[in-house]
Amino acid sequence: MLIRSAKEDIKYVMFSREQIASRVREIGQILSEKFQGERPLMICVLRGAAFFFTDLCREMDCLMDMDFISASSYFNGTKSSGVVRLVKDSSIDMEGRHVVLVEDIIDSGLTLEYLVKLFATRNPKSITTVAMLDKEVDKPERFCVDYYGFKIPDEFVVGYGLDYADYYRNLPYIGVIKEECYQ
Ligand code: PRP
Is residue 157, in this structure, part of any structural domain at all?
Answer: no
Separation of CA 89 and ligand 1 centre (Å): 15
Do β-strands 65-72 and 41-46 pair in parallel, antiparallel, or remain unpaired? parallel
Among protein residues, the one with the nearest Cα to ligand 1's atom 17 is 74
Domain that holds residue 78: 17-152
Is residue 165, in this structure, part of any structural domain at all?
Answer: no
Among protein residues, the one with the nearest Cα to ligand 1's atom 18 is 72
- Counting ligand 1 atoms within 8 A of each CB, the residue from 69, 106, 111 with the most, and so the one to mutate, is 111
pLDDT per residue over 27-60, tens digit each? 999 999 999 999 999 999 999 999 999 999 999 9
Is residue 77, in this structure, part of any structural domain at all?
Answer: yes
pLDDT for residue 81: 65
Is residue 23, in this structure, part of any structural domain at all?
Answer: yes
Q: Is 107 a catalytic residue?
A: yes
Q: How far apart are the first and last CA of the chain?
A: 7
pLDDT per residue over 51-100, tens digit each? 999 999 999 999 999 999 999 875 555 566 668 889 999 999 999 999 99
Distances (CA, A) of 180 to 9, 11, 156: 8, 10, 12
Residue 157 has pLDDT above 60, yes or no: yes
The minimum-distance atom of ligand 1 relative to the CA of 48 is: 20
Residue 14 has pLDDT above 90, yes or no: yes
What is the CATH number for 43? 3.40.50.2020
pLDDT for residue 78: 58
Is residue 84, in this structure, part of any structural domain at all?
Answer: yes
**What is the number of structural domains in the chain?**
1
pTM of the model: 0.95
Separation of CA 71 and ligand 1 centre (Å): 7
3-state secondary structure of 80: coil
